[in-house]
Amino acid sequence: MKVYISSTLRNYFGKNAEIETTGTTIQEVIDHLTDEYPDSKKILFDEKGSLRRFIRIYVGDEDNTEKDKWYRKIEGEEILLLPSIAGGSPRESIISDERRKEVALDDSEVERFGKHLMLREISVKGQKRIKASKVVVFGAGALGSAVIQYLAAAGVGTMKVVDPETVTLENLQSQVIHSQRDLKRPKVASARDFVRNMNRSIVFEDENTKPEADNIASMIEDYDVVVDCTDNYKTRYLINDACALLGIPEVFGAIYQYEGRVGIFNLDNGPCLRCLYPAPPEKGLVPTCAEGGAISPLPGIIGSIQANETLKLIMGIGKILNGKLLSIDSLNLRSSILKVDKDNKCPLCGMNPEITTIEEFDYEEFCGLKEDENEVPVEGFTPEELAEKIEKKEPLTIIDVREPHERAILRFPEAIVIPIGQLERRMKELDPDIDTVFICKEGKRSILAINTLREAGYKGPMYNLKGGIDAMKDIIFSNEGAWL
């Protein structure tokens, strides 16, 4: 039996992408895997022994996540473990004939879009639908760059881009609509200039604002389709819920390292994001794209597919990813189209929905971002405070929970490397009589590490490096003679 391990899980499975194992049922295969890779139990199962809700198990292209399917015979089939980070038959366009007939193509547009007009499936009617359409793109980063670029090139009539961030130097590796002259500018301003340089007839709207429960409805109402190019779970579920409640289709995209996914949610009574992943991973359990990195072309691949699905929705042509999820592994040249079933028990789009308004749902708590009032707060050192303790040679144990490729870029002197999944069984390596400081890239996974050890019963003093290794880049140590 061959088991394919998604890249976000591979550190718990000896960094293997594929594992040959024995067993004729999912239960037997899972038992074999967790016996061979004990660290995998923490990522796959919660403290009650239940499969975590952000993990899906596919056999071929069929979802077999439900426990009652774990005992059927599956000899010779491939199993896919797919954590959180839709094809169908042709349908009517989301742009009505009335709206299509209200727009016209002038001579310059006929010339500009000539290659579209030659395609039988698009022709004049399809191009006029593109011109009549109104699209919202959430995120002007890596995925958003490809989506914005190709939707603008295709001639989308109205485009709104929502992003609260500014352009930084590290963005330029993969966020191709921004350039060096855009550094420190709002991403939406850079996107606006890019679109205007490409096609001034496009109505461009920009919002340099963070989507929240109290403003997202106004951002998307009266638009035809929403494209999710964001990079955090809170915003993803917020977008999903707003689209479902307002009846707007959503084109979803996500990337991590070499892997990406595309799907369509909230279309024609189809599934929503919560049907696929009822809940996101606990905070810090799965690294984000920002923490785990991504190869430069990957967002271009995934974003281009998102733009392609958006245009097919607008024109009503081809097969679309409604009720399916396209998964691509660019490193191992592997792709799969997986079925996504509508969950009749879904709290948002099921038979008896519990979520009926955006404002009433606590996204901070749902995505694990809200502090538990009963949880002991995690103390921490600033980069300056930690540097001073190191310079004074105070007794410290520094634990680095980052990925191997992150440590290769930026090392921390004399740190002990312990992945989060190994902390519980290796806590005897820590000295409870001295301070232990946990470090990661941004100071988030290190908080999870501290809480993991607390739950395991470790009593020694533990501290988080505030802001992570990113906040300590400019610290100079006298004995190093250089930056950290």
Q: Work out the average pLDDT over 307-315.
A: 96
Residue that is last in its domain, among 306, 338, 366? 366
346 given a catalytic annotation: no
Q: In this predicted model, which residue has the larger pLDDT, 371 or 216?
A: 216
pLDDT of residue 484: 43
Q: Work out the average pLDDT over 185-192.
A: 96
d(CA 65, CA 348): 20
Mean predicted lDDT score pLDDT of the chain: 86
Q: Work out the average pLDDT over 335-356.
A: 90
For residue 36, pLDDT over 80 is answered with yes
pLDDT of residue 367: 62
For tokens 């698009």, the residue is 122
**Domain-located, residue 456:** yes
pLDDT of residue 170: 84
Q: Are residues 263 and 362 in the same domain?
A: yes
Q: Are residues 335 and 420 in the same domain?
A: no
Q: Which residues pair with 263 in a beta bridge?
A: 252, 325
For residue 90, pLDDT over 50 is answered with no
Q: Work out the average pLDDT over 173-194.
A: 94
pLDDT of residue 422: 86
Share of the chain above pLDDT 90, in %: 45
Residues for the chain: how many in total? 484
Q: Are residues 398 and 355 in the same domain?
A: no
440 given a catalytic annotation: yes
pLDDT of residue 471: 82
**Domain-located, residue 310:** yes
For residue 203, pLDDT over 90 is answered with yes
Residue that is last in its domain, among 344, 366, 388? 366
pLDDT of residue 279: 77
Q: Are residues 362 and 387 in the same domain?
A: no
Q: In this predicted model, which residue has the larger pLDDT, 260 or 49?
A: 260
Residue-wise pLDDT for 313-329, tens only, equals: 999 999 999 999 999 99
Domain that holds residue 32: 2-83
For the ranges 139-153, 174-188, 356-370, the lowest mean pLDDT is seen at 356-370
Closest CA to 272 of 223, 228, 323, 339: 323
Closest CA to 84 of 49, 43, 48: 43
Laid out side by side, the sheet with 79-83 consists of 18-20, 2-5, 79-83, 55-59, 62-63
Q: Is the model's pTM score more than 0.85?
A: no
**CATH code of the domain in which 30 resides:** 3.10.20.30
Q: Are residues 298 and 413 in the same domain?
A: no
Closest CA to 93 of 393, 337, 313, 320: 313
For 335, other C-beta atoms within 10 Å of its C-beta total 11
Pick the catalytic residue: 275, 346, 367, 440?
A: 440
**Domain-located, residue 219:** yes
For residue 368, pLDDT over 70 is answered with no
Q: Are residues 280 and 422 in the same domain?
A: no
Angle subtended at Cα 332 by Cα 329 and Cα 334, rounded to the nearest 5 degrees: 55
pLDDT of residue 103: 92
- φ/ψ of residue 376, rounded to 5: -65, 125
pLDDT-derived band of residue 166, with 50, 70 and 90 as boundaries? very high
**CATH code of the domain in which 464 resides:** 3.40.250.10
**CATH code of the domain in which 193 resides:** 3.40.50.720
For residue 267, pLDDT over 80 is answered with yes
Q: Are residues 304 and 356 in the same domain?
A: yes
pLDDT of residue 88: 37
**Domain-located, residue 388:** yes
Residue-wise pLDDT for 95-140, tens only, equals: 999 999 999 999 999 999 999 999 989 999 999 999 999 999 999 9
Q: Are residues 308 and 395 in the same domain?
A: no
Q: Which residues pair with 138 in a beta bridge?
A: 162, 228
pLDDT of residue 482: 37
Q: Are residues 140 and 191 in the same domain?
A: yes
pLDDT of residue 9: 81
d(CA 66, CA 56): 9
Residue that is last in its domain, among 333, 366, 399? 366
Q: Work out the average pLDDT over 6-12.
A: 78
Q: Are residues 192 and 300 in the same domain?
A: yes
**Domain-located, residue 88:** no
pLDDT-derived band of residue 360, with 50, 70 and 90 as boundaries? low
For residue 481, pLDDT over 50 is answered with no
- Cβ neighbours of residue 10 under 8 Å, at least 6 residues apart? 16, 17
d(CA 410, CA 319): 45
For the ranges 146-150, 188-192, 461-465, the lowest mean pLDDT is seen at 461-465
Q: Are residues 276 and 156 in the same domain?
A: yes
- Cβ neighbours of residue 290 under 8 Å, at least 6 residues apart? 231, 441, 442
Q: Report yes or no: 289 and 256 within 8 Å, Cβ to Cβ.
A: yes
How many domains does one find in the chain? 3
For the ranges 65-74, 85-94, 172-181, 291-300, the lowest mean pLDDT is seen at 85-94
**Domain-located, residue 399:** yes
pLDDT of residue 370: 58
Closest CA to 329 of 59, 31, 28, 80: 80
Q: Work out the average pLDDT over 207-225.
A: 94
Highest mean pLDDT among 16-25, 286-295, 329-338, 465-474: 329-338
**Domain-located, residue 99:** no
Residue-wise pLDDT for 127-138, tens only, equals: 999 999 999 999
For residue 19, pLDDT over 60 is answered with yes
**Domain-located, residue 373:** no
pLDDT of residue 411: 75
Q: Work out the average pLDDT over 134-162.
A: 96
pLDDT of residue 483: 37
Q: Work out the average pLDDT over 437-451.
A: 86
Q: Are residues 389 and 342 in the same domain?
A: no
Pick the catalytic residue: 229, 272, 275, 289?
A: 289
